[in-house]
Amino acid sequence: DTEVTQTPKHLVMGMTNKKSLKCEQHMGHRAMYWYKQKAKKPPELMFVYSYEKLSINESVPSRFSPECPNSSLLNLHLHALQPEDSALYLCASSYGLGTGELFFGEGSRLTVL
């Protein structure tokens, strides 16, 4: 199994809603990532987890709250988002930090109204 699975694929939410994006991998990877990609822009790193601990937070606003319940799962909790937060949110995993190759999911397309 070489897949990173993200749900939902599409999400539309209002600015007062609370929702979550989910990511799952069963490759035994110990590092997991959230990236954000706006249209015609490169993916930008948001968070990195290593061995279920938050390793990097790229100064992301607190309305985005990551969670890593176990080594296979990564969540991104969303609350009080702004329309400019609309983007493709990509989850990725790797064997560990510093191993280079990241395996990406297909992404969750988020629209904030």
Partner 1 sequence: DQQVKQNSPSLSVQEGRISILNCDYTNSMFDYFLWYKKYPAEGPTFLISISSIKDKNEDGRFTVFLNKSAKHLSLHIVPSQPGDSAVYFCAASGGYGGATNKLIFGTGTLLAVQP
Residues 60-89 that bind partner 1 (CB under 8 A): none
The stretch among 11-19, 65-73, 76-84, 101-109 that binds partner 1 (CB under 8 A) is: 101-109
12 to 51: interface string for partner 1, x by CB under 8 A? -------------------x-x------xxxxxx--x---
Binds partner 1 (CB under 8 A): choice among 15, 54, 56, 113? 56
Least Å distance, CB 80 to partner 1, is 27
The C-alpha angle 5, 9, 12, rounded to 5 degrees, equals: 145
What is the token pair recorded at 103?
A: 């395996």
CB 67 within 8 A of CB 77: yes
Q: What is the rounded CA–CA span in Å between residue 34 and residue 72?
A: 14
Give me the sign of the Cα torsion angle 64, 62, 39, 18. positive
Alpha-carbon gap, residue 73 to 93, rounded angstroms: 10
Minimal distance, residue 52 CB to partner 1, in Å: 15
Which CB, 33 or 64, lies closer to partner 1?
33
